[in-house]
Structure 1
Amino acid sequence: MLVQLAIRDFAIVERLDLDLQGGMTAITGETGAGKSILLDALGLCLGERADAGSVRHGAKRADLSARFDVTRLPAARAWLEERELPSDDCLLRRVVTSAGRSKAWINGQLCTIGDLKALGETLIEIHGQHAHQALLREETHRRLLDEFAGLSGEVSELGETFRHWQGLRRRLKQLADTSDELQARRQLLRYQVEELDQLALAEGELESLENEQEALAHAEQILADTQFAVECCDNDEGGALSLLHQALSRLEALPGAERGPLAEARGMLGDARIQIEEAARELTHFAEHTELDPERLAHVEERLGEVHRIARKHHIMPEELVELHATLGKELASLEGSDQDLDALTRDVETARDSYRQQARRLGEARRQAATAFAEEVQSQLGFLAMGKAHFAVDVETRDTPQPEGLESVRFLISANPGQPPRPLTKVASGGELSRISLAIQVVAATHSTISTLVFDEVDVGVSGATAEIVGQLLRRLGDSGQVMTVTHLPQVAAQAHHHLHIEKQTEKDTTLTQMALLDSAGRVRELARMLGGVTLSDRTLAHAREMLDASQRAPH
């Protein structure tokens, strides 16, 4: 469940730290006070889209975090453990800059917004104030029935099977439609691969040929210059070694040559003689092994010419020929068996189609079985909401066209008055009726949810009086076994809550800020009195609010 929510510089909130508890928590405040800010901040922590408008005016960034206790949420723990993240606690953090950029963390580790959404789906379930509008779309009906029946996994698997089947169908059509093109492509590839086979250019051969060509082409000049260098080093008549020998002989004969500057000079000349002797030996060795080979040079240049010619044909650099050879060879190998592939792919398509239909048939049977139970539970909730005479039904109809979610269309039907046949929900329900039907459906869906934290954002729109009190009782019953947070404008609903958060907008020095506080008993009485319509809180209004709160807290649920 959600245990902490921290908000910094978000919208008109400068700083807010909330410690939350289990049970039902009502969130109230005057119109425009910012009741939706808390849910908006929570939504960002759960991966909703962010923009620069989220940041409080004058601040550099908004910083939001939500901490969850996942002790009783095996799906969330498994998600964290699979990614080697700590699973005894769950901290979601989102930072949005004034430039509109955002970053996200899970337990201190950077993550993607997609990760936030995926994990968030295992942590919390939000029922928005426009949920009744979603009931005007039939895809919502199917989704709600599947969630009630615990069929979301089967629907996901069926979707994967459907996409696999359709992918095979597309490949088969492409293969059949392009058979002539494939034949032409095969012939071209055979010619190109055969030419490259004959060339047989090895990895690294091009560089070796270019180095050898350069050496052979300049061998005569290299040999002459090397021999000249040897003569300069070791020649009896004026070579460097001869001159060094003479210099050393004369220095050795000088008085005091064994010490001081003369000794150092003799040492350096001796080192130079050794270096020149070694250089002369290396040059002599190189010259002895350098040969003039015009035939080899012609062969190398011919080989290089062939390599460059074929590279020009393919409009690539010569060094890319080896990779091209491998690529074309693989493509040819894949096309050589295309006729066999066509037959095999046809069989694969049939197998995938049969697999889809078997899965879809089992899913359809499960939906039809669940439809009756779902309708009965919604019907029961409608009785609590003063619509006991209405008749709710779920119509599951098989379609001819396969879809990722199955072969069925699901429609919610309602008969608001006795004696009238049920008709599609979108055609017969008034605004108030639709709100109550939506709430009944959401309560049923929430009752069967595996998620312990449920958020209801003004789902009580369109109800009042005794019905509003019953709505509060329904939400409190949900809170008895988990955590329910509800934004409400009805005192009858707020009075039923285990806890009550009040949001207030304050203006200080031309700055508007929102504050939120957990109300004690006296604070709850004053807030309920305000919600009952008292601009000035009279003793009678306060007494009515106190009576409402006491009765709601004492009543069995």
Structure 2
Amino acid sequence: MLTALSIKNYALIDSLQVNFNQGLTIITGETGAGKSILLGGLSLILGKRADLSALKNSDSKCVIEAIFDVSNYKLQNLFKKLDFDYDEQTIIRREILPSGKSRAFVNDSPVNLSGLQALGEQLIDIHSQHETMQLMDDAYQFQVIDALAKNTQDLQDFKAALKTFKSFQKEYDELLKFQAEAIKEHDYNTYLLKELVDANLVDGELQELEETYETLNNIEVIKEQLTAVNQLLSEEQIGVMSALLAAKNNLQKISKFSSKYEDTFNRITSSSIEINDIFNEVESLQDQLDLDPEQLTIVGAKLELINTLLKKHMASDVAELIVIKNALSEKVSVTEKLDDTIADKQLEVESAKKAIDAVANSLHKKRMAAIPGLTKELEAILQQLGMPNAKFNITLKQTESYQNNGKDQLAFLFSANKGGAFNELKKAASGGELSRIMLAIKSILSNYVQLPSIMFDEIDSGVSGEISNKMGEIMRDMSKSMQVFTITHIPQIAAKGNTHFKVYKEDVGEVTQTNLRLLNHDERIVEIAQMLGGIEISTSAMAHAKQLLN
């Protein structure tokens, strides 16, 4: 509930501080006295966008601060979600700077407007003609039905089930789309994969194949050169091996004379061993040479195949071709397994659909059960409010499509006159009738859910006499379970309040200011008498005012 409000430098308000109590609070005042200014200031607290023109003194900042007792509202989770500091005595402050910038604070911590609006919706409902138009909105009509049906948990379960269902359905649709694309590429991918598999690729084989091909392709030249090397090494008269042997024998004869000769002898001995080894290697290489045209053809074909594949797949080596082959294998495998994957996902979708349908059916049954009671209560209250022939025909039809709150299609049909045809509210009810319907709905809701504080802005417009008296009684009954404010011009309603404030304008020097004053019992008598008979208060008006208050 709203316990205190402070407004500084806003419109015609210089400085205003007021405390509020539980129950029904009445706000009265002459037309133009500034009741709308009070509502405007309170709207800023609830997150309405600021306007620089609202500053009374454009050189100073405007500060509006409200204190709410939220101890009974169970808002801890909302504060946590919004990342606000929770306090049972929550202070909300808005500041409008001369520069035009505005700032908002909750319990002295800066907050953004969207978060402030989310919190404000849970704190106070300023009910004006615009809010009455909510009656025509499906979402609001569902809120009314669901409040009476106690569907809070089912609605949470439905939203969770809907999220799961949509997620599975999206995955299923994406799989089908992927399958359609994959099928187009499957045959080509299979062909490419077979080509790479048949190539029997081995990492690093390209270099080996190229060497083998060069050897086989130049075998005659290689043989010729190896034979020449063999002859140079082994020729009996001028061969390297014979010359080394002679040099070795000569050095051996003098090796004992000096270490220098011995070192030279050892070196030539080593060279002789190495040359012999080379000779043997050359002979081995000669023995390995075998002219094999068939092998040359095989190696050449393999080389040509690899080079063709490298070019086709724009790969740099065989290792990259192997990577491409594995990727193609995975694609082909996934495509071939897609039917099983899609079937599994379809089962998940069907299971999620059964779960969401179960909750939707529960919502539907509870709503159907709540409609007769709501209809009966609405018609009974409206009869008291001067609409004896008002009738509602609330229909609920289950559809196949999923909405955010179930599968139902709701229609609030109304007839104001006896024997009249049922029609949509916006076509069947006048502005005054809509206001009374909204009051009736708010009255009913107050018995089922913890509503935030509510401020009725001349909801009694267009009514008088016994009907206005009954409206006052309804608002007074509502105030037993919640804080209710009403701005009114009707004396019968004003007399029903627990507390009564008067909005008035006064001239201070050369400046007109708006103020708000709590009236005592005698002042209330005078105010209500003026509402009854005008500025010139008659004895009968005073007597009538006392009678109303008593």
TM bin, normalised by shorter chain, reads 0.5 to 0.7
The reply to whether residue 442 of structure 1 matches residue 442 of structure 2 is yes
CA drift at 1:501: 1.0
Mean CA deviation greater in 459-468 or 125-134: 125-134
Match of 1:391 in 2: 391
Mean CA deviation greater in 466-475 or 108-117: 108-117
State the Cα deviation string for residues 108-134 of structure 1 (Å, max 9, x = none). 222233332333333333433334332
Q: Verify the 8 A CA contact 1:457 1:488 in the aligned structure 2.
A: yes
Q: Verify the 8 A CA contact 1:127 1:442 in the aligned structure 2.
A: no
Q: Verify the 8 A CA contact 1:436 1:463 in the aligned structure 2.
A: no
SS at 2:88 equivalent: coil
Match of 2:8 in 1: 8
Q: Tell me the TM-score normalised to structure 1 length.
A: 0.66
Q: Verify the 8 A CA contact 1:131 1:438 in the aligned structure 2.
A: no
> Unaligned regions of 5+ residues in structure 2, if any?
194-202, 204-313, 315-325
The reply to whether residue 506 of structure 1 matches residue 506 of structure 2 is yes
For residues 411 and 389 of structure 1, what CA distance do their matches in structure 2 show?
A: 20
Match of 2:109 in 1: 109
State the Cα deviation string for residues 24-50 of structure 1 (Å, max 9, x = none). 001111112221232332222222333
For residues 180 and 90 of structure 2, what CA distance do their matches in structure 1 show?
A: 58
CA drift at 1:451: 3.0
CA drift at 1:342: 4.3
CA drift at 1:81: 6.8
For residues 432 and 472 of structure 1, what CA distance do their matches in structure 2 show?
A: 15
Mean CA deviation greater in 493-502 or 92-101: 92-101
Structure 1: which amino acid aligns with 2:34? G
- Aligned ranges for residues 281-360 of structure 1 at < 5 Å? 339=338, 342-360=342-360
Mean CA deviation greater in 506-515 or 10-19: 506-515
State the Cα deviation string for residues 316-364 of structure 1 (Å, max 9, x = none). xxxxxxxxxxxxx99x999995836544443333333222212111111
CA drift at 1:160: 4.2
For residues 108 and 139 of structure 1, what CA distance do their matches in structure 2 show?
A: 34
Q: Verify the 8 A CA contact 1:439 1:460 in the aligned structure 2.
A: no
CA 352–519 in structure 1, closer or farther in 2 if over 3 Å, else same: same
CA 541–386 in structure 1, closer or farther in 2 if over 3 Å, else same: same
For residues 180 and 477 of structure 1, what CA distance do their matches in structure 2 show?
A: 65
SS at 1:517 equivalent: strand
For residues 137 and 71 of structure 1, what CA distance do their matches in structure 2 show?
A: 31
Mean CA deviation greater in 103-112 or 530-539: 530-539
State the Cα deviation string for residues 205-247 of structure 1 (Å, max 9, x = none). xxxxxxxxxxxxxxxxxxxxxxxxxxxxxxxxxxxxxxxxxxx
For residues 63 and 109 of structure 1, what CA distance do their matches in structure 2 show?
A: 15
For residues 48 and 19 of structure 1, what CA distance do their matches in structure 2 show?
A: 22
C-alpha RMSD of matched pairs (Å): 3.4
Q: Verify the 8 A CA contact 2:84 2:106 in the aligned structure 1.
A: no
Match of 1:529 in 2: 529
CA drift at 1:2: 1.3
Structure 2: which amino acid aligns with 1:76? L
Q: Verify the 8 A CA contact 2:446 2:482 in the aligned structure 1.
A: no
Q: Verify the 8 A CA contact 1:92 1:106 in the aligned structure 2.
A: yes
Match of 2:465 in 1: 465
Identity of aligned residues (%): 31
- Aligned ranges for residues 112-123 of structure 1 at < 5 Å? 112-123=112-123
For residues 58 and 156 of structure 2, what CA distance do their matches in structure 1 show?
A: 45
SS at 1:33 equivalent: coil
For residues 483 and 490 of structure 1, what CA distance do their matches in structure 2 show?
A: 20
Structure 2: which amino acid aligns with 1:515? N
For residues 100 and 351 of structure 1, what CA distance do their matches in structure 2 show?
A: 55
Structure 1: which amino acid aligns with 2:145? L
CA 448–387 in structure 1, closer or farther in 2 if over 3 Å, else same: same
State the Cα deviation string for residues 229-276 of structure 1 (Å, max 9, x = none). xxxxxxxxxxxxxxxxxxxxxxxxxxxxxxxxxxxxxxxxxxxxxxxx
Structure 2: which amino acid aligns with 1:491? P
Q: Verify the 8 A CA contact 1:491 1:528 in the aligned structure 2.
A: yes
Match of 2:368 in 1: 368
For residues 511 and 84 of structure 2, what CA distance do their matches in structure 1 show?
A: 44
Structure 1: which amino acid aligns with 2:403? Q
Moved over 6 A (4+): 182-187, 332-336
State the Cα deviation string for residues 155-214 of structure 1 (Å, max 9, x = none). 344234334433443443344335566797998xx99xxxxxx9xxxxxxxxxxxxxxxx
SS at 1:459 equivalent: coil
Structure 1: which amino acid aligns with 2:136? L
Structure 2: which amino acid aligns with 1:409? Q
CA 18–169 in structure 1, closer or farther in 2 if over 3 Å, else same: same
The reply to whether residue 76 of structure 1 matches residue 88 of structure 2 is no
Q: Verify the 8 A CA contact 1:51 1:101 in the aligned structure 2.
A: no
CA 56–351 in structure 1, closer or farther in 2 if over 3 Å, else same: farther
CA 47–147 in structure 1, closer or farther in 2 if over 3 Å, else same: farther
Q: Verify the 8 A CA contact 1:77 1:88 in the aligned structure 2.
A: no
> Unaligned regions of 5+ residues in structure 1, if any?
192-197, 199-312, 314-328, 551-557
Aligned pair count reads 411
Match of 1:52 in 2: 52
Q: Verify the 8 A CA contact 2:446 2:481 in the aligned structure 1.
A: no
Match of 1:543 in 2: 543
Match of 1:456 in 2: 456
CA 410–468 in structure 1, closer or farther in 2 if over 3 Å, else same: same
For residues 499 and 533 of structure 1, what CA distance do their matches in structure 2 show?
A: 22
Q: Verify the 8 A CA contact 1:6 1:18 in the aligned structure 2.
A: yes
For residues 510 and 154 of structure 1, what CA distance do their matches in structure 2 show?
A: 61
Mean CA deviation greater in 22-31 or 51-60: 51-60
Structure 2: which amino acid aligns with 1:383? Q
Match of 1:28 in 2: 28
CA 164–510 in structure 1, closer or farther in 2 if over 3 Å, else same: farther
The reply to whether residue 18 of structure 1 matches residue 31 of structure 2 is no
For residues 539 and 345 of structure 1, what CA distance do their matches in structure 2 show?
A: 83
For residues 332 and 43 of structure 2, what CA distance do their matches in structure 1 show?
A: 51
Match of 1:128 in 2: 128
Match of 1:61 in 2: 61
Q: Verify the 8 A CA contact 1:45 1:93 in the aligned structure 2.
A: yes
For residues 57 and 174 of structure 1, what CA distance do their matches in structure 2 show?
A: 60
CA 69–168 in structure 1, closer or farther in 2 if over 3 Å, else same: same
CA drift at 1:525: 2.1
For residues 471 and 336 of structure 1, what CA distance do their matches in structure 2 show?
A: 74
Q: Verify the 8 A CA contact 1:416 1:429 in the aligned structure 2.
A: yes
SS at 1:480 equivalent: coil
CA 417–168 in structure 1, closer or farther in 2 if over 3 Å, else same: same
CA 418–334 in structure 1, closer or farther in 2 if over 3 Å, else same: farther
Mean CA deviation greater in 45-54 or 492-501: 45-54
Q: Tell me the TM-score normalised to structure 2 length.
A: 0.66
Q: Verify the 8 A CA contact 1:81 1:87 in the aligned structure 2.
A: no
Q: Verify the 8 A CA contact 2:154 2:362 in the aligned structure 1.
A: no
Match of 2:158 in 1: 158
CA 475–335 in structure 1, closer or farther in 2 if over 3 Å, else same: farther
CA 346–534 in structure 1, closer or farther in 2 if over 3 Å, else same: same
CA 369–59 in structure 1, closer or farther in 2 if over 3 Å, else same: farther
